[in-house]
Structure 1
Amino acid sequence: MFNFPDPTQAQLTEDGQLKHFLDIEGLPESLLLELLDTADSFVDMSEQQVKKVPLLRGKTVANLFFENSTRTLSTFELAAKRLSADVLNLNISTSSTKKGETLKDTLMTLEAMHSDMFVVRHSDSGAAHFIASQVTPNVAIINAGDGRHAHPTQAMLDMMTIRRHKGGFKHLKVAIVGDILHSRVARSQIHALRILGVPEIRLIAPRTLLPRNVEMLGVKVFTNMAQGLRDADVVIMLRLQKERMTSALLPSESEFFKLYGLSEEKLAFAHPEAIVMHPGPINRGVEIASSVADGPKSVILNQVTNGIAVRMAVMSMAMSGQVAERAKKLEAGE
């Protein structure tokens, strides 16, 4: 577990531009909207014959994944390549950190290779903040998920998906369902939804999978699916984080599905035009029925497509902020 500095100071330049992307908390609504607008400009690139722009040409992006995730790593790698960056994927499981080299030594080695951006995924909360505090100022740090703490790019691709299907945020009822306790995605989603002005955020879970005092985040808590889903405009299902559970918090997966899995019968309580989301990977028949995951209200595959665009936007904005801050310091003679 690492310490958390002020998220706003750690992430923004003096002019309010993005220089790191570590957490949603503390960021202004205007910056989140700028990020979404930038991502919108990238989303149609997949339909073009040439799927590249030169925004990061000559830059090196190092993906430092201390925790496995094929989906997130793949979308970050593809996003960096579509921005014309050179990409280095560091296999931490076989790297020198397993031979006794410290994290700081690894960072210094990568800096010596003149890397411009580190995309970091780590099992310890606060790891991305720690790395941002240790690297030289001209290296941008993007948090690809740290412990139970935050997963800001996942939250923003979810926000992009919601906006593209619902047009905005100010009128929505959003329900987040499942393993809230262990989910860094849920925490980042709650912060993003609040900043963007969603008036009603609902959490639906058994008591054993709810954090203590979670109501302090400005959410409504339900332990009954029918009550929590009633008239919801957006339903976000979460994966059961079984690898992070230290005790038996559930009677069984079948019992969980019976009470909290999203079936067509339970989805009928939501608004008729509700959309269904899931950050993946999906445990079919545990969190969600296949008929719902593959059904007409599911936008799960749209989330994957939007994830590439959002990560392109984050990378380009962070690098732009780094360049602007460096130029300002050079002008000041620092």
Structure 2
Amino acid sequence: MTQLQVQSEKHLLGTKGLSAGELNAILDRAAHWEQHPVKVTNQLQGRFVANMFFENSTRTRFSFEVAEKRLGAEVLNFAAAVSSVQKGESIYDTVRTLESMGIDAGVIRMKPNGLLAELAQKIKVPLINAGDGNNEHPTQALLDLYTMRKEFGEIRGLHVVIVGDIQHSRVARSNLWALQTLGAKVSFCAPPVMQAAELAEHAPYISFDEALKADVVMMLRVQLERHEGSLFGSAEEYRAAYGLTAERAARMAPHAIIMHPAPFNRNVEIDDELVECEKSKIFTQMSHGVPIRMAVIERALS
């Protein structure tokens, strides 16, 4: 095996193509870290991890940073908004520059679709996708799976419905691939303007009334400005048609749970009173971000 081939197994570019065994290994390792909440280990002492965020996300970056520091790694933070990438230096040049300085792994978030796979073929250090375009967000899907597995014991046989702006959602895609690999049934629920036609062959689009019968109802953040001139002139209209209101939540099965990748728009896609209700696992999901990212970083550097 060449060095590049060895490293390619250490990249985490998406959940698409990961086997059930690989997904479960990450979830199991995250369970280990959740059960051993030591603040700092020296597991990765002397290793350098760069967080390269060419697109802002405070929560995801902090979650990765806490995970890296708990593993004892040295952390370098790079935010594109204040960097030379604004001056026209390409993402590739920036990543190559950090690689040549001796980083051991890179966590990367970016707007362009499809660029990450190209980068991964040219860069010899493992890259972890922290969200790219509307392509994938694998660590979010992994923490979602972890939350479901903890709640229900296993993922096989669950019916998970993802509701909202499927077209622009990398979270929907990463969840779709990972959930199907582990034997869950996935459905989508979205207004026509927010559907992703290319995903229809993988998961059916169903009505909201049908969606409320699922084991897991996962709401997505909706950015109405992306759909100028669509059906919804206002947040109120979206909430009336596709929001998880208290009235709709009351129709869910007793065992069913509410999820959301956050950040959420209260009283748009989810009613304020539901965010922390008994069925909601939204903050529980967030708490699983660090152990999942610890498992993923460890996998890249083991």
TM-score, with length taken from structure 2: 0.94
Matches within 5 A, 1:75-94: 75-94=63-82
User: Among residues 139, 142, 145, which one is paired with 1:153 in the alignment?
Assistant: 139
Correspondence for 1:23: 14
CA displacement 1:103-129 (0-9 Å, x = unmatched) = 232123212221011100001112322
Correspondence for 1:56: 44
TM-score, with length taken from structure 1: 0.85
User: Among residues 208, 214, 218, which one is paired with 2:199 in the alignment?
Assistant: 214
| CA contact 1:179–1:240 (8 Å) conserved in 2 | yes
| CA contact 2:211–2:217 (8 Å) conserved in 1 | no
Structure 1 unpaired stretches of 5+: 1-10, 321-334
Correspondence for 1:327: none
**Counterparts of 2:6 and 2:228 in 1: how far apart (Å)?**
42
Cα offset, 1:313, TM superposition: 0.4
Correspondence for 1:43: 34
Shifted more, 299-308 versus 91-100: the winner is 91-100
**Counterparts of 2:181 and 2:195 in 1: how far apart (Å)?**
22
Task: Report the AA paired with residue 99 of structure 1.
Answer: K
| CA contact 1:121–1:144 (8 Å) conserved in 2 | yes
Task: Report the AA paired with residue 228 of structure 1.
Answer: A
Aligned Cα root-mean-square deviation (Å): 1.8
**Counterparts of 1:108 and 1:131 in 2: how far apart (Å)?**
9
Matches within 5 A, 1:70-109: 70-109=58-97
The runs of at least 4 consecutive aligned structure 1 residues that moved more than 6 Å come to none
| CA contact 2:56–2:79 (8 Å) conserved in 1 | no
Structure 2 unpaired stretches of 5+: none
The size of the alignment, in residue pairs, is 298
Cα offset, 1:318, TM superposition: 1.4
1:192 matched to 2:178: yes
Q: Flag the 1:123–1:242 CA change in 2: closer, same or farther, 3 A.
A: farther
User: Among residues 187, 193, 203, which one is paired with 1:202 in the alignment?
Assistant: 187
Correspondence for 2:23: 32
Task: Report the AA paired with residue 228 of structure 2.
Answer: S
**Counterparts of 1:104 and 1:213 in 2: how far apart (Å)?**
28
1:287 matched to 2:273: no
User: Among residues 150, 155, 158, which one is paired with 1:164 in the alignment?
Assistant: 150
Q: Identical aligned pairs, as a percentage? A: 43
**Counterparts of 1:306 and 1:98 in 2: how far apart (Å)?**
33
**Counterparts of 1:226 and 1:286 in 2: how far apart (Å)?**
18
Task: Report the AA paired with residue 230 of structure 2.
Answer: L
1:319 matched to 2:301: yes
1:238 matched to 2:220: yes
Shifted more, 288-297 versus 100-109: the winner is 100-109
| CA contact 1:150–1:184 (8 Å) conserved in 2 | yes
Cα offset, 1:170, TM superposition: 1.6
Task: Report the AA paired with residue 180 of structure 2.
Answer: R
Task: Report the AA paired with residue 190 of structure 2.
Answer: A
Correspondence for 1:248: 229
Cα offset, 1:290, TM superposition: 1.3
User: Does the residue aligned with 1:154 lie in a helix, a strand or coil?
Assistant: helix
Cα offset, 1:190, TM superposition: 0.4
Cα offset, 1:268, TM superposition: 2.6
**Counterparts of 1:171 and 1:133 in 2: how far apart (Å)?**
36
**Counterparts of 1:163 and 1:302 in 2: how far apart (Å)?**
12
| CA contact 2:50–2:75 (8 Å) conserved in 1 | yes
Cα offset, 1:269, TM superposition: 2.7
Cα offset, 1:133, TM superposition: 1.8
**Counterparts of 1:182 and 1:103 in 2: how far apart (Å)?**
22
| CA contact 1:43–1:305 (8 Å) conserved in 2 | no
Task: Report the AA paired with residue 143 of structure 1.
Answer: N
**Counterparts of 1:64 and 1:45 in 2: how far apart (Å)?**
28
| CA contact 1:154–1:307 (8 Å) conserved in 2 | yes
Task: Report the AA paired with residue 117 of structure 2.
Answer: H
Correspondence for 1:225: 208
Cα offset, 1:259, TM superposition: 1.1
User: Does the residue aligned with 1:130 lie in a helix, a strand or coil?
Assistant: helix
Task: Report the AA paired with residue 27 of structure 2.
Answer: L
Shifted more, 99-108 versus 120-129: the winner is 99-108
Cα offset, 1:171, TM superposition: 2.3
Cα offset, 1:94, TM superposition: 1.6
